[in-house]
A and B are shown apart, each in its own frame.
Chain A
Amino acid sequence: MISYSLADFKPIVPELVLLFFTFLILFVDFAIPKAKKKINGFIALIGVVITFVVVLSLYGSSWTGFNDMIVFDKASGFVNVVLLLTAFVAILMSLDFIKREEINFGEYYEILLFSLVAMQVFGSTYNLIVMFLAVETLSIAMYILTAIKRNGLRSTEAAMKYFILGSFASSFLILGIALIYGLFGTVDLLRTKELLTGADTLHTWIAIVSFVLILVGFGFKIAAFPFHAWTPDVYEGAITPISAFMSIAPKAASFMALMRLLVVGMFPIQVEWTKLLWVIAVFTMFFGNLVALWQKDLKRLLGYSSIAHAGYMLVGITAANSLGYGAVLFYLFGYIFMNLGAFSVAEYISKKDVEGCLIDDLRGMGYKYPLTGAAMLIFMFSLAGVPPTVGFVGKYYLFSAAVKSHLYWLAVLGVINSAISAYFYLNIIVTMYMKGGAKEEVVSFPSPYLRAAIAIGAVGTILFGVAPGSVLNAALSSIVF
C-alpha cells in the first residue's frame, strides 16, 4: 500500500510555490480591467523571483518523494535556477511587448508559468511516465504560446508545424517507454539500470531500440539533427519573447532529463549510445552552422544557431564523463545570457505588426544606439565562442570533456564548426557597424524592461566569461548520480 506523507512533498516545494502564483494570476486576472493587464506580468515576475529564492535556499539538500518518482538534488536545483532565470528574462521581454501586439489577455503569463512547472518536474524525475506527462504538458503549453498571436499568419503556421511534429515525436517517445516497460516491467530508471546490467544480449538490443525511440522524442525537444526541422520555422513564427523562452527553457529541461536517462537508465549500454550521439552531434553542429550562413532573418538565424548549440551540448554528453555533463549544464546557464540577449535585441528593433526582423534592419544600429550595439557585439562574440565571454568558457569545457575521453576528432570538428559559425555572427556585427547607408530611422521599441533584459544579458555574458568560478563549480559537481 503506497502511503504518502508530508515528507513526499519536500522535493516539489519549488513547483508548488510556482503553482501557487499561477493560480494567483488566474484569479487576479478576472478582477483587473483590460487596460491594466500588466499586473499579471508583475505577479509572474514576483512569483519567479520568490521561487528562485526558495530554490537557492534549498540548494544542496537532496530529497526523494512519491517513492522515488520525484527527486530534488543539486542537478535539478541547477536546472531550476536556469529555468527560472530564463522565465524571468522572458517575462521582462514580454511585459510591454504583448501590450503592443494586442495579446493582452492574462492567460499568457499563466500558461508560461504552467510550462515552467512542467519543465521543473521534467528535470527532476527518474520515472519515464512522469517524464512523458511533463513533456506533454510542457509541449501543449508551448503550442498555445506559439499560437498566442491569433491573427498572425506566421505564428499560426509555426504553431501548426510545432503541434504536428511535437505530437508525432511524442508518440515515438511513448512507444519507446512502452517497450521499456514491457522489457523490464518497470518504468523507473534506477531499477532499469540494475536489470539492464544483468540482461542478456537480446534484452539489451531491444533496450537499445527502445532507447532510440525515446531519443526521437528527446531529440525533437532539443532540436538534434534529424528531428530539428521545426526549430527555424517556429522561432521565426512565434513572438520574440516566446521564441526566446522556447530556445532555452524546454531545451534545458530536456537535456537534464536526457542526461538522467543516459547516465542512470542507459548506463550499461553507454558504449552504444556514445557512438550514436557522436554521429548525431556532428550532424547537428554542421547542419546548424552551414545553413545559418545563408540566413537573412535574424530570428531564423538564431533558430539555426540554437540547433548548432544543441550540437555542441551533445558533444558534452557524448564525452560521457562528469566534466562533460557539468559542462552541458554550465553551457545552458551561459546560453541564457547570450541567446536571450540576442533575442531581446531582435525584439528591440522589431516593428509593430511586421513579422520577422531582417538582419538588414540592424544596419547602422551600432552608432544610433551605441549601448545596444555594444551589447549585441558582446552577444555575437559570445555565441561565436570568442574569449572573455561565457560562450567561450562553456564551449571550452564541452570540447575539453570530449578531449578528456579521447574523442579528438569530435573536438576538432566541433572547433571547426565554431570557426564556421564565426562568419555569420560577425556578419551581424558587419551590418551593425561597417555597412554604410543606415536605413531611415532605425525604429526602436523603447521598453525599460527590455533594456533591463539586454543589460542582464550583456553583464551576465561578460561576468561569467571572466569569472565563471562559482557557477562552474556548482555545475561540475551537480551531476554526481
Chain B
Amino acid sequence: MNQLHFPILSFITFWPLLGVFILLFINRKNETAIRIVTFVFMLIDFLVSTLLYFYFDPTTWQPQFVDKIPWISSLGMNYYLGIDGLSLFLVILTTFLSVVGQFSTWSAIKEKVKEFNIVFLLLLTGMLGVFESLDAFLFYVFWEFELIPMYLMIGIWGGPHRVFATMKFFLYTFAGSVFMLVAIMATYFLFHHYTGTYTFDMFQLASHPLPHHLQFWLFLAFFLAFAIKVPMFPFHTWLPWAHVEAPTAGSVLLAGVLLKMGTYGFLRFNLPMFPSMTHALGILVIVLAITGIFYGAVVAMVQPDWKKLVAYSSVSHLGYAMLGMFALNSQGMEGSIMEMINHGVSTGALFLMVGILYERRHTRLFSEYGGIAAIMPRYAVLAGVVTLSSLGLPGTNGFISEFLCLIGAFKANIWYGIVVAGGAVVSAVYLLMMFQKVFYVKTRNVKNLGLKDLDLRETVYMGICVLGILWIGLYPNPLLSRMHVSVEHLLQHVNSYSKQITINVDKNLTCNKLAKINVISRGGL
C-alpha cells in the first residue's frame, strides 16, 4: 500500500538519473557548477527520503510506499519497489552518506570532475534500487548495476594500484553474485513446482518456504554472494585493496553502504526464504562472524596504512551485525540493523577523516603522522568522537548496536556472548593505537607542522556526522521504534520453522564445565 499515493520510491531512485541527464549538458570546464548541481540533486534526494521517515507507519510489517508495475508479466516479473522496517533506515543512510560524500570531494577530486559526478549519481541510483526493490530479479539487476559505477570510481580516480584493486573488487563480487543468480532461478522454478505460481516477489517466496533438503544449496549460494559482500571472514581480502585504492568519497560509500547490501541480502533472502536451513547452518555463520570480529580487530592493529586499518575494522564491526542477526532474537536482530546504520555513519566519518588528512599530506602511512592534535585541534576533537563511536563507548552510537548484538548473542547461547564480550577490548586496542599514532606524541615529521586546521566546509560535514553519532547514541528510539514490527514478523516467521527438523542451536550447547546452568527465563526477553 502506498500511503502517499505518489511514487516516492521511484522518484528517489531515479531522481539522480535526471541529475546525470542535466550534467551531460554542462560544460566540462565549469567544475563548480557541476559540483553544485550534483550536490543540490543529492540534497533534494536526501530531504525527500526523510519524508519516508515521517510518513512511515510503524504498526505494520507490510511493505510501504509500494510502486508495483508489471515488467514482464508472462514470467511473473514486476517492477516492485517498497520498504519496510528493515530497509527504511538503509535508504536514508544511503542518501545521507552520498550527500556527505559528495560534499567532501569538492576539493579532493580535481581532474575529470564531470565524469566523477555522473558516476556518483549512477552509484546512488544503483544503491537505492537495491534497498528498495522487493522483486528478486529487480534486486539482482540493481545489485549488479551498482557494481559498475563503483568499479569505475575506484578504477579511474583511485590510487597507484587502482586497476588491480578494482578488477579484484568487481570480479570477486561478480563471481559471488553470479551463483546467487542461479539460486534465484532455481528458487523461482522450485517455488512454481511446489505452489504452482511463477513469482519473484520476495514476500510471496518467503510465505511458504521450500522443503528442508532443497534449501541447502540455495542457502549456500545466497550465503556465498552476501558473505563476499559483507565481507565475512574468509571472503574479505578484496576490502583492504578496494579501500586503499578508492578515492575518499568512494571509500565512504563502499564502507557505508555497499557492505550493508550483504547484510541486507541475508535479511531479505537467507532468513525468510530458507528458515529451517538458517537454523541448521546458523552456527557456521555465527562462528565465522565471531572469527571475523577478532580477526578483523587483531589484523587491523598491525596495519601500517590508515585506510587498511579502517577496512579491517569494518570486517570486525560487520561481524557484530552478522552475529546479532543469526542470534535470531529481537534484540540481536535490532542490534544488527542498528549496527548497519551506525557502522555506515561512523566508518563513513572515519574515512572522511582519513580523506581530510590525505588531501593535505597525500599519504596514509602512520609513520608519516604524529602529534596532529597540537597542529589541528578541531580536527583532533572531531576525530576523537568518531574513534570513540567505532570503539563503542556508551553514549555514542557504536555502543547501542554492539550491546544489543551482545544481548542477542548471549540469549542465543551464553558462550557466544562471553566470547564476543572480549571483542570490545580488542577494538579498543587497535583504535586507540591508531589514535595515538596519528594524534599524540610530538610530531617528528617537519611536513606536519604547516598543516592548516579544518576549513568551514570540512567542519560542516564532519560536524554533521558527529551530531549523527551523538544523537543516535543518546536517543536511538526514533530508529528502534520503527523496526519492532518488521523484526518481530521476520523472527516469528523464521522461528516458526525451527521446531521441525533442525537441531535447536542452544539446547545442545549448554556450558558444561562451569555448572549445569538451567536457563530459567528462556522466553523471558
Contact in complex: B156, A388 (CB < 8 Å): no
User: How far does the Cβ of A411 sit from chain B's closest Cβ, in whole Å?
Assistant: 5
Interface stretch among A34-42, A67-75, A198-206, A415-423?
A: A415-423
Q: Does A269 contact B (CB under 8 A)?
A: no
Interface stretch among A12-20, A43-51, A145-153, A397-405?
A: A397-405
Q: Does A179 contact B (CB under 8 A)?
A: no
User: How far does the Cβ of A479 sit from chain B's closest Cβ, in whole Å?
Assistant: 14
In the assembly, what is the distance between CA of A370 and CA of B142, in Å? 24
Interface stretch among A116-124, A135-143, A345-353, A467-475?
A: A467-475
One digit per residue, 1 when the CB lies within 8 angstroms of any chain A CB and 0 when it does not, for chain B 256-270 equals: 000000000000000
Contact in complex: B74, A476 (CB < 8 Å): yes
Contact in complex: A415, B144 (CB < 8 Å): no
In the assembly, what is the distance between CA of A170 and CA of B74, in Å? 40
Contact in complex: B189, A422 (CB < 8 Å): no
Contacts A386-B144, A387-B141, A387-B145 known; A426 to B151 CB distance under 8 Å? yes
Which of A418, A434, A467, A472 interacts with B156 by CB under 8 Å?
A434
Q: Which residues 135-180 of B sit at the A interface, judged by CB distance below 8 A?
A: 137, 140-145, 147-148, 151-152, 155-156, 162-163, 166-167, 170-171, 174-175, 178-179
Q: Does A381 contact B (CB under 8 A)?
A: yes
In the assembly, what is the distance between CA of A367 and CA of B170, in Å? 22
Contact in complex: A426, B170 (CB < 8 Å): yes
One digit per residue, 1 when the CB lies within 8 angstroms of any chain A CB and 0 when it does not, for chain B 100-112 equals: 0000000000001
Which of A388, A411, A467 interacts with B182 by CB under 8 Å?
A411
* Residue of A387, A403, A418, A468 with most partner-chain B CB within 10 A: A387
- Taking CB atoms, residues of chain B closer than 8 Å to A404 are 185, 189
One digit per residue, 1 when the CB lies within 8 angstroms of any chain A CB and 0 when it does not, for chain B 480-515 equals: 000000000000000000000000000000000000
Contacts A386-B145, A419-B178 known; A411 to B185 CB distance under 8 Å? yes
Which of B74, B155, B178 interacts with A433 by CB under 8 Å?
B155
Tell me how many residues of A have a C-beta within 8 Å of chain B: 34
User: How far does the Cβ of A120 sit from chain B's closest Cβ, in whole Å?
Assistant: 28
Which of B143, B156, B181, B189 interacts with A415 by CB under 8 Å?
B181
Contact in complex: B186, A408 (CB < 8 Å): yes
In the assembly, what is the distance between CA of A427 and CA of B171, in Å? 11
One digit per residue, 1 when the CB lies within 8 angstroms of any chain B CB and 0 when it does not, for chain A 351-374 equals: 000000000000000010010000
Tell me how many residues of B have a C-beta within 8 Å of chain A: 35
- Taking CB atoms, residues of chain A closer than 8 Å to B137 are 396
Q: Does B131 contact A (CB under 8 A)?
A: no
Contacts A388-B141, A412-B179 known; A468 to B167 CB distance under 8 Å? no
Contact in complex: A426, B167 (CB < 8 Å): yes
Which of B71, B142, B155, B185 interacts with A469 by CB under 8 Å?
B71
- Taking CB atoms, residues of chain B closer than 8 Å to A381 are 148
Q: Which residue of A lies closest to B157 (CB)?
A: A434
In the assembly, what is the distance between CA of A423 and CA of B167, in Å? 8
In the assembly, what is the distance between CA of A416 and CA of B71, in Å? 27
One digit per residue, 1 when the CB lies within 8 angstroms of any chain B CB and 0 when it does not, for chain A 147-168 equals: 0000000000000000000000
Contacts A412-B179, A416-B178, A423-B171 known; A392 to B144 CB distance under 8 Å? yes
Q: Which residues 362-394 of B sit at the A interface, judged by CB distance below 8 A?
A: none
Contact in complex: B112, A367 (CB < 8 Å): yes
Which of B144, B162, B170 interacts with A387 by CB under 8 Å?
B144
Q: Which residue of B lies closest to A405 (CB)?
A: B189
User: How far does the Cβ of A107 sit from chain B's closest Cβ, in whole Å?
Assistant: 43
- Taking CB atoms, residues of chain A closer than 8 Å to B171 are 419, 422-423, 426
Contacts A392-B141, A419-B175, A433-B152 known; A403 to B182 CB distance under 8 Å? yes
Q: Does B517 contact A (CB under 8 A)?
A: no
- Taking CB atoms, residues of chain A closer than 8 Å to B148 are 381, 386
Contact in complex: B185, A400 (CB < 8 Å): yes
Contacts A386-B144, A392-B141, A430-B155 known; A399 to B185 CB distance under 8 Å? yes
- Taking CB atoms, residues of chain A closer than 8 Å to B156 are 433-434
Q: Does B72 contact A (CB under 8 A)?
A: yes
Number of residue pairs across A and B with beta carbons under 8 Å? 84
Q: Does B430 contact A (CB under 8 A)?
A: no
Contact in complex: B144, A473 (CB < 8 Å): no
- Taking CB atoms, residues of chain A closer than 8 Å to B142 are 387
Contacts A422-B170, A434-B156 known; A403 to B186 CB distance under 8 Å? yes
User: How far does the Cβ of B28 sit from chain A's closest Cβ, in whole Å?
Assistant: 9
Q: Which residue of A lies closest to B190 (CB)?
A: A403
In the assembly, what is the distance between CA of A427 and CA of B140, in Å? 23
In the assembly, what is the distance between CA of A403 and CA of B155, in Å? 35
Contact in complex: B72, A468 (CB < 8 Å): yes
Contact in complex: A387, B140 (CB < 8 Å): yes
In the assembly, what is the distance between CA of A427 and CA of B74, in Å? 37
- Taking CB atoms, residues of chain B closer than 8 Å to A388 are 141, 145
Contact in complex: A434, B178 (CB < 8 Å): no
Contacts A415-B179, A476-B74 known; A386 to B174 CB distance under 8 Å? yes
In the assembly, what is the distance between CA of A370 and CA of B23, in Å? 14
Q: Does B351 contact A (CB under 8 A)?
A: no
- Taking CB atoms, residues of chain B closer than 8 Å to A370 are 115
Contact in complex: B155, A419 (CB < 8 Å): no
Contacts A387-B144, A388-B145, A426-B151 known; A399 to B167 CB distance under 8 Å? no
In the assembly, what is the distance between CA of A435 and CA of B137, in Å? 34
- Taking CB atoms, residues of chain A closer than 8 Å to B141 are 387-388, 392
In the assembly, what is the distance between CA of A298 and CA of B137, in Å? 32
Q: Which residue of B lies closest to A403 (CB)?
A: B185
Contacts A434-B156, A434-B162 known; A386 to B147 CB distance under 8 Å? yes
Q: Which 7 A-B pairs have the closest CB atoms?
A: A387-B141, A403-B185, A400-B185, A419-B175, A387-B144, A415-B178, A434-B155
A-B contact pairs, 7 of them (CB 8 A): A387-B141, A387-B142, A399-B185, A400-B185, A404-B185, A423-B171, A469-B72
> CB within 8 Å of B: which residues of A?
367, 370, 381, 386-388, 392, 396, 399-400, 403-404, 408, 411-412, 415-416, 418-419, 422-423, 426-427, 429-430, 433-435, 467-469, 472-473, 476
Extra pairs beyond A387-B142, A426-B151 (6, CB < 8 Å): A386-B148, A408-B182, A422-B174, A426-B167, A430-B155, A435-B163
